[in-house]
Amino acid sequence: MSAVRPGHEHEYEYEGRYGYGPEGQSEPAYDPLTDPVPPDRQGSPWFRATNIPPTEDSAAPDFGATDMTAPAGPQQEPQEWPALQQPLNATEEPRHDWYAAGAAADPVTASLPAQAPAPGQEQRRTPVSDPILVPDDETVALRTSDTRRAAQTPPGPGRAERRRAAKSRGRRRASAAPAATPAAGEPGKPLSRVEARRAARAAKDSPAVIASRAIGELFITFGVLMLLFVTYQLWWTNVLAGQQADKAANKIQDDWAKGRKPDAFEPGQGFAIMYIPKLDVVVPIAEGIDKQSVLDRGMVGHYGEGKLKTAMPEDKQGNFAVAGHRNTHGEPFRYINRLERGDPIVVETQDTYYTYEMANILPQTSPSNVSVISPVPEQSGFKEPGRYITLTTCTPEFTSTYRMIVWGKMVEERPRSKGKPDALVG
């Protein structure tokens, strides 16, 4: 049997397994136009069927109707085949006139629209595996489906174009990976080297920004330290001073219980306890007005040294003057501005309770005005010598610019053996 083989030099090729030659072996190609017909093949049915010269106007012979088993007729000389039609392109195989006529006669194939070759893509036709066989319904259906699929498939670029496109996409991805950030107003455009340097310099903090940050951090640190200091002054110093004042009061009472009566009190030594019932104040009194050893320890200090020395409570005449903090460090005199005339102020010593009544107040005076603690204090309203008490503290609150003065006059002297005075019992 013969078949059209694309790419072969000759149209026909004989294979031994179809009855010519040993089983499974191929014979040399045979060209009926130039090669003489071998004598042992001139009488074969195939030769008789395929060498009937078709006419120019006739269609393809119906090989299915030929009886391949009938005896061969008179031998005929091989005749030349009709001229081949011009192929559509360089890759299309030539077709005979009778094959073209048969294809045109096929109603299914003739009804399909002609497909022009796409630009850049060569049109190929499905080679016929065996032109001798008459196309049946299945073959026609396959041809129709192939034709329709080819019509539906959009033409695409060739292999060379696809390779070039892939290479260009790879280059674009490689160049886009390390690209710098696009400049403002030009999205997607890579920056030049100069623009990249400018952008890097702009991203760095300037010396002014660094200095402002350092100053801001210093201010924040300073603010935190100030907050801690204020917390220490307003809260923690009161806690510490309260503990120290309680210890001093307990020590004074222990000395009284043991009967110790010193002739003179050393600076910082506690010797009495003051009560201000209206303000709920109970505070020990120590000798001297030293800030660190007396006042900052939550105690009240007695003016008893140098030029500022004043009388003691047991003296029959004089002014018993003391000082204390209004804010921080226990702040025993925080609210003495609330005292009114007649409010009691009690001083307890080892043997006696001395009760004073508030007489007058000086809201503000200079720290250098020492006349307020004289035996007969000025501006106190007292006109003659007597037994007086003077309380001094700083004003306004949380400052030491001025001094606030409160005066009182003794109204009762009660031995401790007789019990507490009425101001403390109530």
CB of 273 closer than 8 Å to CB of 282: yes
403 is catalytic: yes
Give, in order, the Cα–Cα distances in Å from 424 to each of 112, 276, 282, 322, 412. Answer: 127, 9, 11, 20, 13
CA distance 60 to 62: 6
User: Hunting for tokens 């174009």 — which residue is that?
Assistant: 161
CA distance 10 to 119: 31
Vertex 293 angle, CA 291 and 295, to 5°: 45
173 is catalytic: no
Find the catalytic residue in 143, 302, 394, 414: 394
**What one-character DSSP code corresponds to residue 274?**
E
394 is catalytic: yes
| Residues whose CB falls within 8 Å of the CB of residue 163, separated by 6 or more in sequence, listed in order | none
DSSP string, 308-341: G----TTSSSEEEEEE--SSSTT-TTTTGGG--T
Find the catalytic residue in 143, 325, 326, 329: 325
CB of 315 closer than 8 Å to CB of 387: yes
Residues taking part in catalysis:
325, 394, 403
